[in-house]
Amino acid sequence: MTVRALLASGCLLWLTACTDSPETTPRQLDDRILHPPATVGLTPVLIPELSAMSDVVQHNLEAQFATLRQALAADLSPDTLAGLYGDVGALLLAARYFSESTPYFLNAQVLAPGDRRWPYYLGHVYRNVGPLDEAAHALEQANQMHPNDVATEVWLGEVYLAQGRASDAATLFSAVTAREPTSAAGWFGAGRAALADGEPADAVTALEKALTHNPAATAVHYPLAMAYRRLGQLDEAQTHLAQQGGVAPRPDDPLMSALGELLESPEVYSSRGRSALVAGNWAAAADLFERGLTMAPTDPFLRHGFGGALLRMGDQRGAETQFRRVIQDNPTHVEAYYSLSELLEATGRPGEAVAALRTALEYAPGHVAARTRLAGILGRSGAPADALPEFIRALELAPENAEAAFGYGMGLVRLDRFQAARDAFSEGMQTFPDPTPFALALARLLAAAPDPGVRDGQQALNLAENLLEETPGLALGETIAMALAELGRFGDATQMQRDVMTVAQQAGIDRTVILRMNDNLLLYENGRASRRPFRSDEMP
């Protein structure tokens, strides 16, 4: 038996174990197994439990299963039967039932070995649930059947990268970018392959091209930052680290796009809308959510997603209308209050944002993100004393919440409780996996706190210099300047502050921020140290 046949059998056994209740009789189970005709190499397939699926998905699948059951009893050609197996597999894959779709695609491939759809879809199944060796094998088959297909080569290159086969991936991505120079997905793969092969300069070239062709692809920034770091260009590395995200460039993929058209339901539109949001395609997301709302006007998830897409498109009024409609129809929908609070603060209405979050917390007192955000808005809007208890409550609910711990420290700074803030940041350095923000804040206090009992210029300089390799950037440069001034090294502090301001101007930082930086420069030029550890624009 081949590896793929073994996997298909294992999938059938797994489905049997996972979908049967203790009350399922052998006869009922047998009714859900579709036995193939006496054809060499085919595997019995199990009809999965459909009750957890949406009504539309259930209806479509039940119709396909009925057609396949009738076909198995008739004398149909292998190509026709392959199409019916493949149609069921495609529906299951479209609904993201990866493992359940596997035996259907395997049977379709046995019956129609020349149809590249079946190994292509199998490649995507294995790419999502493993094993990666099978994903590579399936996509290699699809690539041999239809050479030079960009989508197939990109996905195969992604699998090679996941397997650690950087050179093989580089060959594929190089072929893609040679044929399609504007392929952001191709350049993204080529850059990561070069980085894995120890070629950071080539990686920078490729990844910069990926951003040129798809500026919204925020996932490009992290490997680009790593490439710049290996080249020793730390300011460039920091700039890209600050922009990293989860939106990866994707190739045009007609076969996978076709799956999205198979199922028409509110759930499918919601899923596709969320995928479009993740990809940074706001207009497409808004369209998908709106289409879903025509089928389910009262669905809060669709309407909330629609509001989120409008907000990202710059339609604040439209987004607010959608969020308020969700709350009107579903007064306990906490995420709508949360999104509304973000919009309200961004549009200069912090009081209303606080009210929205307080209402959300009435319904969900344990919502840590909402409580943390409430505390942050209170601190930023001039009520730090009210913010501290909220940060404390958030930490009681989730002691691992680094954002709340950092916010608590900043709340103490706002209240001029510098010794307590120093202790909070010091504890944060020891407690959380990423000590960097706590270390930087502590260095600021040690360098420039108004309380002389807190200041320690040498310790501040040591902390800041220890961060140089991992976290270069403007904030760190200003911190080093503060520490140098506290130590009386005003010439060095002046030069460091000037360097920071030059980099800020070159990076296009807002002019008002640069003018605020100039306040410290004037102090250092006149032989005075700073006694303001944070500007207002630096405090979260």
What CATH number corresponds to the domain at position 208?
1.25.40.10
Q: What DSSP character marks residue 461? A: H
Q: Which of 88, 131, 94 is nearest to 106 (CA)?
A: 88
pLDDT at 12: 37
Identify whether 59 is part of a domain: yes
Closest among 487, 451, 488, 446 to 463, alpha carbons compared: 446
The SS3 call for residue 76 is: coil
Using a CB cutoff of 8 Å and minimum separation of 24, what contacts does 235-238 make?
235/472, 235/473, 235/503, 237/472, 238/471, 238/472, 238/473
CB atoms within 10 A of CB 303: 25
Domain that holds residue 219: 3-241
As given in the structure block, the two tokens for residue 143 are 């690539």
Q: Is residue 182 situated within a structural domain?
A: yes
- Strand (E) or helix (H) holding 34: strand 33-34
pLDDT of residue 149: 93
CA 475 to CA 486: how far, in whole Å?
A: 17
Residue 483 is predicted with a pLDDT of 96
The per-residue pLDDT for 56 is 64
Q: What per-residue confidence (pLDDT) applies to 428?
A: 94
Residue 75 lies in a domain: yes
> Which two structure tokens, joined as six digits, stand for 248?
């990866």
Quick one: tokens of 266? 């509110």
Does a structural domain hold residue 327? no
Based on the structure, what is the number of domains in the chain? 2
* Residue where a domain terminates, one of 196, 219, 241: 241
Chain-centre distance for alpha carbon 238:
19
Q: What is the pLDDT of residue 223?
A: 93
Under a CB-based contact definition with an 8 Å cutoff, are residues 12 and 46 in contact? yes
Residue 384 lies in a domain: no
State the pLDDT at residue 55.
66
Check residue 40 and give its pLDDT.
Answer: 62
Sign of the torsion angle spanned by Cα atoms 224, 230, 236, 238: positive
Q: How high is the pLDDT of residue 54? A: 62
- pLDDT digit string, tens, across residues 160-215: 999 999 999 999 999 999 999 999 999 999 999 999 999 999 999 999 999 999 88
Q: Is 471 within the bounds of a domain?
A: yes
Which residue has 């944060």 as its token pair? 428
- Residues 36-63: b if buried by 16+ CB within 10 A, e if exposed: beeeeebbebbbbebeebbebbeebbee
* Residue bearing tokens 């493992």: 99
pLDDT of residue 35: 73
Domain closes at, from 196, 222, 241: 241
Domain boundary among 210, 241, 272: 241
Both tokens assigned to 390: 């909220």
Question: Mean pLDDT in runs of 10 for the chain (540 residues)?
Answer: 36 37 44 69 76 68 80 80 88 83 91 93 91 94 94 95 93 95 95 94 95 88 91 86 81 85 75 80 90 89 94 93 95 94 95 97 92 95 94 92 94 96 95 90 96 96 87 86 96 94 86 89 96 85
- Give domain status of residue 474, yes or no: yes
User: Is residue 130, in this structure, part of any structural domain at all?
Assistant: yes
Q: How far is the C-alpha of 228 from the C-alpha of 165, rounded, in Å?
A: 22
**CATH number of the domain residue 508 falls in:** 1.25.40
User: Quick one: DSSP state of residue 38?
Assistant: S
